[in-house]
Amino acid sequence: MLTRNEIIEHLKNDNKNSELFSLADKIREENVGDAVHLRGLIEFSNICKQQCKYCGLRSPNKHIERYRILKDDIIHTAKHAVDMGYKTIVLQSGEDDYFSTDLIVEIIREIKKLDTALTLSIGERSFGDYQAFKEVGADRYLIRIETTDRNLYKELHPNMNFDNRIRCLKDLKELGYEVGTGCLVGLPGQTIESLADDILFFKEINADMVGIGPFIPHPETPLKDTPAGSFELALKVMALTRIMLPDINIPATTAMETLNPNGRILALQSGANVVMPNVTSTEYRAKYEIYPNKICINDNPDKCRNCIEAKIKSIGRYIAKDYGFSHNKN
């Protein structure tokens, strides 16, 4: 295990990057093996009541065509993904109150009739909601802390509250979910020290999954003129997360591939063991624009599946056939 100072040293210094990536790759192989878990991502609503300053879905953005995929269509999309071999469905959206507790419960019930694990990524909800979703079979929940720097969190999330985000993570753990969190890399004003604290935070809350992505500026947000985060730095934060949490699930994120055409493969070779291909139908993809130039927006679910399978095989890895529950035994 690395100390905070050692993590900071690695993040500041670029002359040992390739050793760092190889070490993370080796630790990944020893702890979670060569299997790559695919999670089929359904982006079912881009309607959001929040105003996160980096995100293109923020409610003040009027230059975006909003959509909501209705229940039957979500279930249909999930069924197609399961037929294609996905063993996990991820339901992601903005914070859209149209999707009431009861409606989400109904959707979970239907999807859990299929042969699949289910992950939710729908933002901050009450303990009661999280409990209701768990009772009908939701297995996992993703909610990134985004940054552990409280002042920066406050600056970037008007009307939101850092302590409530922590409360969500604690509630989800207490309810027995596998909990995924993570951070953005390259936010304006974010320090290297705070990135080290993010990694220590993932360990402290005993995360089962951690997603790391570079910040990418969206033209219709207050951060439109902020430069994008560095691919290399995001990869280093990810590799260090693997070193510090050897047996968790770590996705090669889509944002990494947006900044580097080989980003997901490089991530899979630097500690990652999960990929989350988009299974949303083509008509909605471009509209789920959390950041610009998202990959695969003109593709369909079948094409994405074949493309990622070929990439994974090309580096001597294989697609897992099991549900991919976390190995985290802590």
> Applying CB under 6 A, which residues contact ligand SAH?
54-55, 92, 94-95, 121, 123, 143-144, 146, 184, 213, 215-216, 218, 255, 290-291
**Least distance (Å) between residue 111 CB and ligand SAH:** 18
**Least distance (Å) between residue 207 CB and ligand SAH:** 14
**Distance (Å, rounded) from C-alpha 184 to C-alpha 277?**
19
Task: Between 123 and 301, name the residue whose CB sits nearer to ligand SAH.
Answer: 123
Task: Between 213 and 271, name the residue whose CB sits nearer to ligand SAH.
Answer: 213
Contact in structure between 283 and 266 (CB atoms under 8 Å): no
**Least distance (Å) between residue 321 CB and ligand SAH:** 27
Distance (Å) of CA 18 to CA 29, 198, 200, 210: 16, 22, 22, 21
Q: Which residues have a Cβ under 8 Å from the Cβ of 322 and sit 6 or more positions away?
A: 35, 87
Task: Between 210 and 320, name the residue whose CB sits nearer to ligand SAH.
Answer: 210
24-46: b (≥16 Cβ within 10 Å) or e: bbebbeeebeeebbbbbbbbbbb
**Least distance (Å) between residue 67 CB and ligand SAH:** 15
148: its two tokens = 């552990």
Task: Between 254 and 270, name the residue whose CB sits nearer to ligand SAH.
Answer: 254
**Least distance (Å) between residue 43 CB and ligand SAH:** 9
Distance (Å) of CA 68 to CA 167, 208, 239: 28, 29, 36
Cβ neighbour number for residue 206 with a 10 Å cutoff: 12
Task: Between 213 and 324, name the residue whose CB sits nearer to ligand SAH.
Answer: 213
Distance from first CA to last CA of the chain, Å, rounded?
A: 15
Contact in structure between 120 and 180 (CB atoms under 8 Å): no
Distance (Å) of CA 278 to CA 38, 140, 240, 288: 10, 18, 26, 11
Q: Which residues have a Cβ under 8 Å from the Cβ of 177 and sit 6 or more positions away?
A: 130, 134, 138, 139, 140, 141
**Least distance (Å) between residue 186 CB and ligand SAH:** 9
**Least distance (Å) between residue 177 CB and ligand SAH:** 14
Could you give the strand order of the β-sheet that contains 178-185, starting from the edge strand earlier in sequence?
A: 40-45, 88-93, 117-121, 140-142, 178-185, 209-214
Task: Between 177 and 291, name the residue whose CB sits nearer to ligand SAH.
Answer: 291
Task: Between 7 and 276, name the residue whose CB sits nearer to ligand SAH.
Answer: 276
Task: Between 27 and 197, name the residue whose CB sits nearer to ligand SAH.
Answer: 197
**Distance (Å, rounded) from C-alpha 44 to C-alpha 29?**
34
φ, ψ dihedrals at 112, nearest 5°: -70, -10
**Least distance (Å) between residue 139 CB and ligand SAH:** 17
